[in-house]
Amino acid sequence: MTAITDDSWFDRRYYGGDLPAAAERALHVAAAAWADPPAAEAALDAAAALAPGHRAVLLARYKYHFYRTDLAAAAPYALACVRDSARALNLPADWRDVRPGDARFDEIEAEPRFFLFALKAYGYVCVRSGAVEEGKAALAQVIALDPTDATATRRLLALVEAGPGDEDDEDAA
């Protein structure tokens, strides 16, 4: 684990009052234990036990697996973030059933944007972990809900649909 000289670092509060302090501390411990995966995962498990289903914990677990490039493990946490945001927005539980008028997806409100970016993340990790059709469907749904492409998903889906290119073509570009 990273050497931290001031233990109060673990007790700082960023996530507001609804995340129990012990769960937030566990998230900080997980971050400090990045180089020790068993310790980091134990801390993430502790945070999840202390605050089951809390968005900060779900997001931390997603990011942990994403940055470790364990994208198949990241996918369920991205989907859990989508579902959490859908609940907050009173959207259908299944992202496939969400329609453009169901929320203010065309504005810069935090919750609709979180839903879109979580769904984009889910689509991306699905594609990269081999669940290509599921991922493409999620990315297409983001595009359908995001008319101005504020999430920059159109290009991502175009790249996915183009498939792997010839590496020599990149040099010519």
pTM of the model: 0.86
> Is 117 in contact with 151 (CB distance < 8 Å)?
yes
pLDDT digits (tens, 9 = 90+) for 51-60: 999 999 999 9
pLDDT for 156 equals: 95
Q: Which two tokens stand for residue 101?
A: 């008028």
> Is 134 in contact with 126 (CB distance < 8 Å)?
yes
- R_g (Cα) of the chain, nearest Å: 18
Q: How far apart are CA 102 and CA 60, in angstroms?
A: 27
pLDDT band, residue 101 (cuts 50/70/90): very high
Q: Which residue has the tokens 């065309």?
A: 106
Angle at 58 between CA 53 and CA 60, to 5 degrees: 145
Residue 124 has pLDDT above 90, yes or no: yes
Q: How far apart are CA 83 and CA 155, in angstroms?
A: 25
